Amino acid sequence: MPTLIFPKDSTDAKRLSKLVSKGQLKRIRQGIYTDADWAEIPQLLKNKWYEVVSYLYPDAIIMSAKRVLG
C-alpha cells in the first residue's frame, strides 16, 4: 500500500531527496514524499489528507461544519 513520508529533520530530508533522484520516491511538494505511482497519488492524498494537513499545520484544529451546525 502506498504511503506518505515526511522528513523528521534536515538530514532525513536530504536522504529522501536522494531517493527521489534515484527514482525510488516521488516528491509531492517540499517535505512530502511518497512511494506511490503517479496515478495513485490523487487517491492517496484523498485518503490521507489529514496527515498532510497535520504536517503542514501542526497546530491546526479541524472541524466539520456539519457537526457545528447540527
> pLDDT (tens digit, 9 = 90+) per residue, 6-59?
999 999 999 999 999 999 999 999 999 999 999 999 999 999 999 999 999 999
- Total domains in the fold of the chain: 1
- Residue 39, domain member (yes or no): yes
Which segments within 1-70 are labelled E, that is strand?
4-5, 26-29, 32-34
Find all residues with CB under 8 Å of 55, minimum gap 6, and list them: 6, 31, 32
Q: Does residue 30 lie in a domain region? A: yes
For residue 61, is it within any domain? no
